[in-house]
Amino acid sequence: MSISRRDFVKVGAAAASIAALPRGLRAATAPTRPRLITVADPDRHDLALRALDAAKSSGASYADVRLTHNWLREVFPRNFGDAESMEVGVRALVQGYWGFASGPVWSPDEMARLGREAVHQAKTNALGKTRTVNLAPAPPVPNGSWVMPVEIDPFEISPLEMVDYLRALSIYTVNVKQGATAQITASFVKQEKAFASTEGSFCAQRLYSSSGTVKLEFEKHGRQDRMDVDLLTVAGLGWELFKGQPIREAIRQLIDRMEADMKLPVKPVDVGRFDTLIDAEGVAELLDTTLGRATELDRALGYEANASGTSYINAPFDMIGSYQAGSPNLTLMGERSSSGGAATVKWDDEGVAPDEFTIVKDGVLSDFQTTRESAGWLEPYYSRRNLAVRSHGCANADSAIDAPLQHSPNLVMRPGREPLDFNGLVAGMGDGIAITDLSATLDFQNLNGLASGRVYEVKKGKIVSMIGGGGVLFRAPELWKGLHALGGATSSRRFGSYSRKGEPAQATCHSVTAVPAVFKQLTLIDPQRKA
């Protein structure tokens, strides 16, 4: 099948979207008008069957296929751009080895070719040492359909309305206080995804992802400061991510905060160990880059060693159920069902309906993030506890062009019992330091890290100065074992995050929900100090 730009326009695609398509996704003009197939078309089922039949007849013991149709919109205060892409990926299992083939063309012949190619790759891989793959049971979904609930579909309103909205925010920033400016962007993705397997599943879902940035700059009396509004991290929402939040109020408050920080004295780093309060966004960052990555089972077993790294939880079969991952204050959940979550789906990329599961309970490692294959690796542990072997639904890939891997679900931290927020924790901590706008860098095992950001000195429960250039060194196990106090439920915030994994690297997004927290005796250093 050949699909031309003119044919896209004829079937109702926006002219601006088509003009923005990458050159490689446009096919040559056909002499006759072809029938455009989309995920919403019933023929997607027939296309999927062509791939599965070809894989089975070529020798696959199991095969699955994913078809993705993506719309992307980028919006700025003066212009916008749209793009569109379609992909298909086929995965086949032969004698315990996987093969994968993908491409940007949806046609019956191409589906059959990819099915055969996936099996060919699996057979080539199967020339190695014999392996056994036991996929965790997954009830077939014979005819599933789901649409992520969003209030405002960002592709159903005029992009010019979005441009005007962002421009108004930019003008507001300039007018709210002299010396303030903003750089503002917005990004939206709509994805139609269909999945089918040789076990009888066929399900389709529509997913949304929205994100944005408001980068503020403020200058006064020759001093400059920069901060980002934290309301627009990636989420499973529509245009309401912008229209439904108090962005103007957040801009005004952030400018006031920068002005207040300019009035604080700035002290040099006094190297030592201090009780440390970190805001909710910083705690989310630490959760994501330590326990979030460390409890990916493939990473813990070393299968990501040549790509994104390994894990300090390096003996998962011995450590699960007994390893003290943090203080009794720490409980961490994984899920892919919360409304607005960046990793929320109805089915994962193996057709599994994800469940909510406990990763750390009262400080003890309870489980790992799993797919159908990796859940089978934990079968001895589950059997000893009379638990059914079940994937937690963590198979994911950004589009069908990539093979599905185990990616992070939405992570949720249990809040503290006391109704405390960041300011309440400051008041109760006595002397120490507080950190906001935190970013963390960790080693290959996600074990040793350096966290930096805006560092404040706290004396007798009050912020009294800023500490210029300070950073905190930590080891992940000691960091979480030193978790001393938590903000309450009203201080809980959800932030979107991106992660990269695999080789070649593929990026996916998820949410992390956390509260501000106090950690005992972290090491404050000056990362910029020269010997």
Domain coordinates in residue numbering, the chain: 5-147, 159-196+208-264, 267-525
Lowest mean pLDDT among 168-177, 290-299, 384-393: 384-393
What pLDDT, on the 0 to 100 scale, is given for residue 478?
97
Measuring CA to CA, which residue among 284, 296, 286, 359 is closest to residue 500?
296
What pLDDT, on the 0 to 100 scale, is given for residue 387?
84
Which comes out higher in pLDDT, residue 27 or 472? 472
> How confident is the model over 208-230, as pLDDT tens digits?
999 999 999 999 988 899 999 99
**Section 28-45 average pLDDT:** 49
Which comes out higher in pLDDT, residue 67 or 38? 67
With a cut of 80, say whether residue 470 has pLDDT above it: yes
What pLDDT, on the 0 to 100 scale, is given for residue 260?
94
What pLDDT, on the 0 to 100 scale, is given for residue 529?
76
What pLDDT, on the 0 to 100 scale, is given for residue 12?
35
CA distance 217 to 517: 28
With a cut of 90, say whether residue 1 has pLDDT above it: no
> How confident is the model over 318-373, as pLDDT tens digits?
999 999 999 999 999 999 999 999 999 999 999 999 999 999 999 999 999 999 99
pLDDT band at 531 (very low <50, low <70, confident <90, very high): low
pLDDT band at 388 (very low <50, low <70, confident <90, very high): confident
With a cut of 80, say whether residue 28 has pLDDT above it: no
What pLDDT, on the 0 to 100 scale, is given for residue 128?
80
Give first-to-last CA distance, the chain, whole Å.
Answer: 65
CA distance 350 to 201: 9
What pLDDT, on the 0 to 100 scale, is given for residue 131?
87
pLDDT band at 42 (very low <50, low <70, confident <90, very high): low
With a cut of 80, say whether residue 94 has pLDDT above it: yes
With a cut of 80, say whether residue 13 has pLDDT above it: no
Length of the chain: 531
Tokens 């696959």 identify what position? 60
Partners of residue 203 on adjacent β-strands: 144, 195
> How confident is the model over 98-118, as pLDDT tens digits?
999 999 999 999 999 999 999
C-alpha to C-alpha distances, 396 to 214, 252, 305, 429, 506, nearest whole angstrom: 29, 38, 19, 41, 10
Tell me what the pLDDT averaged over the chain comes to.
90
CA distance 217 to 226: 5
Please give the torsion angle defined by the CA atoms of residues 398, 402, 403 and 408, in that order, rounded to the nearest 10 degrees.
-30
Residue 25 DSSP symbol: G
CA 519 to chain centre: 25
pLDDT band at 528 (very low <50, low <70, confident <90, very high): confident
What pLDDT, on the 0 to 100 scale, is given for residue 460?
93
Measuring CA to CA, which residue among 522, 452, 465, 467 is closest to residue 268?
467
pLDDT band at 27 (very low <50, low <70, confident <90, very high): very low
CA distance 254 to 246: 12
pLDDT band at 15 (very low <50, low <70, confident <90, very high): very low
With a cut of 90, say whether residue 124 has pLDDT above it: yes
With a cut of 60, say whether residue 4 has pLDDT above it: no
Partners of residue 66 on adjacent β-strands: 89, 195
pTM: predicted TM-score of the whole model, two decimal places: 0.90
pLDDT band at 497 (very low <50, low <70, confident <90, very high): very high
CA distance 299 to 331: 21
What pLDDT, on the 0 to 100 scale, is given for residue 498?
93
**Section 475-499 average pLDDT:** 96
Please give the torsion angle defined by the CA atoms of residues 70, 76, 78 and 81, in that order, rounded to the nearest 10 degrees.
-10
What pLDDT, on the 0 to 100 scale, is given for residue 41?
64
Which H or E run contains 108? helix 108-125
Which comes out higher in pLDDT, residue 54 or 8? 54
> How confident is the model over 163-204, as pLDDT tens digits?
999 999 999 999 999 999 999 999 999 999 999 999 999 999
CATH, range 5-147 = 3.30.390
R_g of the chain computed on alpha carbons? 25
